[in-house]
A and B are shown apart, each in its own frame.
Chain A
């Protein structure tokens, strides 16, 4: 049995927990670079529209605003979930995580609407270099959110069944890092794909 340090929050209570959190930060460093290469490709290809539509022609401010505020709110609620976990309230943690995942689903619904809209207006993934890199970048982020949804759901089930242990608290905290990071990536997509494209 690993040594449990009760002076620290549960998610940091053992040496292994500490290392797992640090290891996840290192993973996020690699994720930054993954999205960095997508952004570099996007900036290189954004004007290569061929006979297809341009960014300004297909972007709609409405869905973009919805996605942005939904994801910002979900980043706030997963933060509140961690705070509630540190207060030891299982019910509040599960409530905030539930809201977070519901917002995640809402985000994905808007994104699916958006993708259907793009195909509908003749901006499918094979139309031009621009539509390819646009949908690859958005899709990679959307895939992360989808993965996060199922990951978060699994952790909620574990908390419900096992309560807060050094292991479940550690997983919950690491999941929160992942979820906040998805919001960070979205901020850059919102700013340098959408707003720049509609300027």
Chain B
């Protein structure tokens, strides 16, 4: 039975639960918006990295650098799109 539960994936699951509980602190404790956002950014991106590396085996073949750069490119575009949208539509640009 134990052979069906590899230690790496079990630890990955435990770690993802821990990260979820840490993220939940922003709800269950009284945190400022700024601290809360930092906590959420760190936990969310760690969770995503965990999924890609441990569960999705992103690094196990010769294609790994192509896969990493593809995912990094996707996230890079998202960050530019989100920040650009916020900059134009929400953040006050009247200097």
Residues of A participating in the B interface, judged by any CB pair closer than 8 Å = 12, 18, 21-22, 25-26, 28-30, 32-33, 35-37, 39-41, 43-44, 61, 65, 68-69, 72-73, 75-76, 78-80, 82-84, 87, 89, 92, 96, 176-177, 180-181, 183-184, 187-188, 190-192, 195-196, 198-199
Contacts and interface: CB of A to CB of B under 8 A. Distances in A.
Given A184-B52, A195-B40, 15 more contacts: A22-B63, A28-B70, A29-B74, A32-B74, A33-B77, A36-B82, A37-B81, A43-B85, A61-B27, A69-B20, A79-B55, A80-B4, A187-B47, A191-B43, A196-B26
Instruction: Decide if the interface of chain A is mainly helix, strand, loop or mixed.
Output: helix
A89 to B, nearest CB: 7
Contacts of A12: 61
Q: Which of B31, B44, B56, B66 has the most CB of A within 10 A?
A: B56
Given A39-B78, A177-B56, A187-B44, A79 B4 contact: no
A105 B92 CA distance: 43
Instruction: Decide if the interface of chain B is mainly helix, strand, loop or mixed.
Output: helix
A80 B9 contact: yes
A29 B70 contact: yes
B44 A25 contact: no
A75 B56 CA distance: 10
Contacts of B95: none
Contacts of A183: 51
Contacts of B93: none
Q: Which of A22, A39, A76, A181 has the most CB of B within 10 A?
A: A76
Interface in B27-58: 27, 31, 33, 36-37, 40-41, 43-44, 47-48, 51-52, 54-58
